[in-house]
Chain A
Amino acid sequence: MPMYQNGEVDPAVKALEARQDEIMRKLYELKAAVEGLAKTVTTPDADLDLTVSSSLSSQSLSSTTFKGAVTDLDTLLGKDLGALRDIVINANPAQPPLSLMVLHSLLCQRYRVLSTVHVHSSVTGVLPQLLSCLGPRHADSYARHMFQLGFTLIWKDVPKLQMKFSVQNMCPIEGEANVARFLFKLLAPYPSDPALATLVDSWVDTAFFQLAEGSAKERSAVLRALNSALGRNPWLAGPDLSLADIACYCCVLQSGSASSAPTNVQRWIKSCENLGHFSPAKLLLQ
């Protein structure tokens, strides 16, 4: 059949063209809609439903405690693949990880964190304060894409605290000290000076291995070392609060040696408590 008759376009072809235009228009609309959706999933900051994000932003006031803070999770953790970055922690209810509770509450001030607590079948009779230790269930918890980080705590019969994150690339991380280092790096960079950074790590090791697990003799040696370090500086690693302070504070508290601590340590415990970040740790101890 000839397409043109006497210079006129066949009405059937015209109809076909109109249909094609209509289909293309619908496809464009669909594409735009999908791109919009993809944006809300991959960049949690952008294009959120304003009614929901306003209720979230009231909680995500930026923390002023740490200087030179990084907030871009993509820079820290690599490209966001669209799924919620979920930090899964297996902890034994016999040894609640106080330092991680403090870091969790700091993370909640910085990021939109979806926190959940579970009890693994290997343990029974978990105390109610351990079940509610991450605060009440978030009202928007069904919408995972609205959160930047997931924090999933599982009470489980494990010999050592364990973190699973990005399981394709990372081995499971063992030890509260190492998990604390990881969480802290999401809040603030380590000091750029190698000596200060290593000093922080060294205090963290001392806190978890000598204060928390050591003998009475080791503990009093650490308290003396803390006392002399705190005579030189307001915080353990110099003029700013660092992970060293969080780790040592929590371990002093856990070992029950806070009341018998020497003067400088007592003063420093007060300063820690004045900051208000440490109440989640105290709650767990009750």
Chain B
Amino acid sequence: MALNLTINTSNPPLGALLAAEHVKSSVQVSVEEGKDTRLQVSDAIQFNDTNSISRYLARVAPALGLYGANMMEQTEVDHWLEFSARRLCGQPGLAVALGELDKALSLRTFLVGHAITLADLSVWAALKGHGEWPSQGKSFSHVSRWFYFLSSQVPF
């Protein structure tokens, strides 16, 4: 089954593209440029927002564990998906959100569990796309450590 992901080139959905990059060994995803971001799954079902696309991609490649290993990890992944979409993307109060993120990362290598999940992908993508992030980096040492650690990995 080949999936077709259309992306809006003026506002590329970084999180969804990262998810697509991660699952490409198990699912075929072709990426096309277009006007709107869209993942067509069937005649009746298509997903237009980054979080839904990421969720779907994580679910078609369950072996990768991008959605967490159990119900509690899934819930944490859901938390971070919303956090990245609502608190980090172009919202005021970035410093407060970064403070919370810093606290969460103080004892962790990855945001959820002990491996990479959608949580890391979406939060990383939201920070990457945020104009204010690099200048704020110095005050949040745990976020910086985590951010540059992920940046050095191949798919990023």
Contacts and interface: CB of A to CB of B under 8 A. Distances in A.
A182 B60 contact: no
Given A194-B60, A195-B42, A198-B59, A169 B72 contact: yes
A174 interface: yes
Query: Which are the 8 A-B pairs with shortest beta-carbon distances?
Result: A194-B59, A198-B56, A178-B78, A202-B52, A182-B75, A173-B79, A195-B41, A198-B55
Contacts of A170: 72, 75-76
B47 interface: yes
14 contacts: A77-B71, A78-B70, A170-B76, A171-B79, A178-B78, A178-B82, A181-B74, A181-B78, A182-B71, A185-B71, A195-B42, A198-B52, A202-B47, A202-B49
Contacts of B71: 76-77, 182, 185
A42 to B, nearest CB: 19
Contacts of B76: 170-171, 173
Interface of B: 41-42, 44-45, 47, 49, 51-52, 55-56, 59-60, 70-72, 74-76, 78-79, 82-83, 86, 104
- For the complex, would chain B's binding face be called helix, strand, loop or mixed by DSSP majority? helix
Contacts of B74: 181, 185
Nearest to B101: A171
Q: A interface, how many residues as a size bin? A: 20 to 34
A177 interface: yes
Nearest to A165: B72
A232 B49 CA distance: 22
B44 A175 contact: no
Interface in A222-243: 232
Nearest to B58: A194
Looking at B42, B44, B51, B82, the one whose CB has the most chain A CB atoms below 10 A away is B82
B88 to A, nearest CB: 13
Contacts of B52: 198, 201-202, 205
Nearest to A78: B70
A197 interface: yes
A78 B86 CA distance: 30
Nearest to A191: B59
B56 A174 contact: no
Contacts of B83: 174
Contacts of B104: 171
A9 B100 CA distance: 76
A255 interface: no
A222 to B, nearest CB: 13
Nearest to A204: B78
A202 B52 CA distance: 6
Contacts of A195: 41-42, 45, 56
A199 interface: yes
A168 to B, nearest CB: 11
B75 A199 contact: no
Contacts of A165: 72
Interface string A155-180: 00000000001100111011101100
Contacts of B75: 170, 173, 178, 181-182, 185
Nearest to B111: A171
Interface string A111-134: 000000000000000000000000
A199 B51 contact: no
Contacts of A76: 70-71
A173 B47 CA distance: 24
B47 A178 contact: no
Nearest to A166: B72
A77 B73 CA distance: 10
Nearest to A196: B45
Interface string A182-210: 10010000000011011101100100010
B13 to A, nearest CB: 14
B78 A194 contact: no
Contacts of A197: 55, 59
Looking at B52, B76, B79, the one whose CB has the most chain A CB atoms below 10 A away is B79
A197 B44 CA distance: 14
Contact of A205 (B49, B70, B79): B49
